[in-house]
Amino acid sequence: MLDPEQAAEALQAQAAPIQGVAPGEATADHLDRIASLTTVVGAVYLVAVSLIPEGLLAGGIALPYKIGGGSVLIVVCTILDLKKQVRDLSFTNRGGERI
């Protein structure tokens, strides 16, 4: 969990401001807004992933197998993790050259 006040103080102490945002309270408000927006977008995504398969089944679309929102989420997370691992492996094998 992100503590916006502590993060704003750390950024100010390291002289690393966020471009376009004043240091101090404005930075804490900005970080809080970004964290809240990220949480809302993530929650909407999880609801959509969970309800789309149910909506397809309720709409009368015949699927060859029953899929659920949890299984779709597991597949998506697995694919994203594999993609990250492949990218990291290719990054280390190329001696730091980004693909």
Same domain, 72 and 58: no
Same domain, 52 and 76: no
Same domain, 88 and 59: no
Is the pLDDT assigned to residue 39 strictly greater than 80? yes
Same domain, 14 and 50: yes
Same domain, 38 and 52: yes
**39: domain range?**
1-64
Is the pLDDT assigned to residue 94 strictly greater than 90? no
The reported pTM is 0.57
Is the pLDDT assigned to residue 75 strictly greater than 70? yes
Where is pLDDT greater, at 4 or 39?
Answer: 39
Is the pLDDT assigned to residue 46 strictly greater than 60? yes
Percentage of residues of the chain with pLDDT beyond 70 = 87
Confidence of residue 90 (pLDDT cuts 50, 70, 90): confident
3-class DSSP string for the chain: CCCHHHHHHHHHHCCCCCCCCCCCHHHHHHHHHHHHHHHHHHHHHHHHHHHHHHHHHHCCCCCCCCCCHHHHHHHHHHHHHHHHHHHHHHHHHCCCCCC
Same domain, 26 and 49: yes
Same domain, 54 and 78: no
Query: 68 near 47, Cβ under 8 Å?
Result: no
Total of domains in the chain:
2
Confidence of residue 96 (pLDDT cuts 50, 70, 90): low
Chain mean pLDDT for the chain: 83
